[in-house]
Amino acid sequence: MKRLKVKELLALEPGCDVLAKGWVRTKRGNKNVSFIALNDGSTINNIQIVCDAVKFDEELMKQIGTGACIAVKGRLVASMGSGQAVEIQADEIEVYGTADATYPLQKKGHSMEFLREIAHLRPRTNTFGAVLRIRHAMAFAIHDFFNSKGFCYLHTPLITASDAEGAGAMFQVTTLDLDNVPKTEDGKVDFSSDFFGRQTSLTVSGQLEGELGAMALGDIYTFGPTFRAENSNTPRHLAEFWMIEPEMAFYDIKDNMDLAEEFIKHCVRYALDNCADDIKFLNDMFDKELIARLQGVLKDSFVRLTYTEGIKILEDAVANKGVKFEYPVGWGIDLQSEHERYLVEQHFRKPVILTDYPKEIKAFYMKMNDDGKTVRAMDVLFPKIGEIIGGSQREESLEKLEKVIADRKMDTRNLWWYLDTRRFGTAPHSGFGLGFERLLMFVTGMTNIRDVIPFPRTPKNAEF
Ligand code: ATP
Ligand code: MN
């Protein structure tokens, strides 16, 4: 008999013989009958297994505790109990694996902190099952979105010799013997004997290589792991996270904003349409406004305003509305999450795309505005999250780019290939980076980024 997944079983009409396999969530009952709630990860919902005591010996039933893995053959029947349409009247049970009383997920309602300590088992909880299925669905929605628009999925390298944009501190990659590091005559590490013959690191962004792709394929996107060794122990930062970075030839900043808005809305709509059970569970368990917030994002156009206008609103809030921020506000500051969230949650009450930031606080490759002070950057700011996307129109002029690089005293030795894009057939182009886990925080309502990735990497934490 072919095994059916719980999701398929729950959609069947009663009256057929079935085979189900999964893990026991709970077992209850009396001496005549036991009820097992079985889950196999295909859906948040369990299927109920009814075991008459006359059919099963006591020893076997004892082996079937919370966490055990079993296969059940039986008949799918209409359920008498409330809460489910069908259940399985069991005829045969095979125990694949028992789980004794030390199984840590005996009870419901463990704290998120505790579950992080057992990240190897937490996917078996309702919450993480829901989050991880939504994570999968969002990855699919992202590929679906770009594929339908004719974008090419470009695989950019994870090991790099260039510090892409100073986007963050980098993890070094080396095969040198750290107990016996070769030195040059002037006492520096001799990377010429390292694996790549030079100093290398894990990438903080695929953008620079993404731009090379866009100058050949037109529209590309990357979707891969990204590493930042910043010691920022916040609920919104991981040392290893996933980023989606589209890069488009012939897009200006307006086209870039339009794409970003359409892209996020596509993902949110996909989640509402395809992950209804999981989102409803998270809504009911953690965040009663989750579904309303997701629907709200689809309804409204994102607000678009300049950094300068945004600062005025923040200054006005401080001066005239009694709003207090931890960090001071003034033109030139790098906005903190509290500032971003004030604009989104208090002032506009919808997502905001902030543009035209001071050049000093943005990366070297962003296109300069005519005012000579601001660059064509765009950050998409979201309720509960703050920055979810960072992007810009890129500077396409070789001359201007070289001047910025010189002004910033950047090391150009590792950037010659990047500058070649401006040297040979340069074109106006734009792109952005979406933090996959930030999107997932928004879609799932999880408030800590550690809870939207299976195995989080944060300072002092690389277990599992
Ligand atoms: P932040 O100011 O929030 O630290 P950033 O400006 O350094 O972010 P960018 O370099 O613009 O980030 O990266 C693009 C996107 O990647 C961000 O908008 C965010 O969604 C995501 N992101 C950046 N750093 C992290 C991180 N450490 N963990 C998870 N996501 C991140
Ligand atoms: Mn940013």
Residue with tokens 């064509």: 376
Which atom of ligand 1 lies closest to the CA of 230?
Answer: 27
243 lines ligand 1 (CB under 6 A): yes
pLDDT at site 379: 98
Q: Please give the domain boundaries of the chain with CATH numbers for all domains.
A: 6-97 (2.40.50.140), 122-169+204-451 (3.30.930.10)
Q: pLDDT class for 81, splitting at 50, 70, 90? A: confident
Q: pLDDT class for 410, splitting at 50, 70, 90? A: confident
Mutate to test the pocket of ligand 1, among 232, 243, 361, 439 (most ligand atoms within 8 A of CB): 243
Q: pLDDT class for 431, splitting at 50, 70, 90? A: very high
pLDDT (average), residues 313-322: 97
Tens of pLDDT along 257-288?
Answer: 999 999 999 999 999 999 999 999 999 999 99
Rounded to the nearest whole angstrom, what is the distance from the C-alpha of residue 264 to the centroid of ligand 2? Answer: 16
pLDDT at site 127: 97
pLDDT at site 111: 95
pLDDT at residue 164 above 70?
A: no
pLDDT above 70 as % of the chain: 99
The number of beta carbons lying within 10 Å of the beta carbon of residue 401 is 22
Q: pLDDT class for 165, splitting at 50, 70, 90? A: low
pLDDT at site 181: 96
Ligand nearest to the CA of residue 387, numbered in listed order = 1
Mean pLDDT of all residues belonging to the chain? 95
Which atom of ligand 1 lies closest to the CA of 391?
Answer: 11
Q: Which residues pair with residue 429 across a beta bridge?
A: 249
**pTM for this one?**
0.96
438 lines ligand 1 (CB under 6 A): yes
Q: pLDDT class for 350, splitting at 50, 70, 90? A: very high
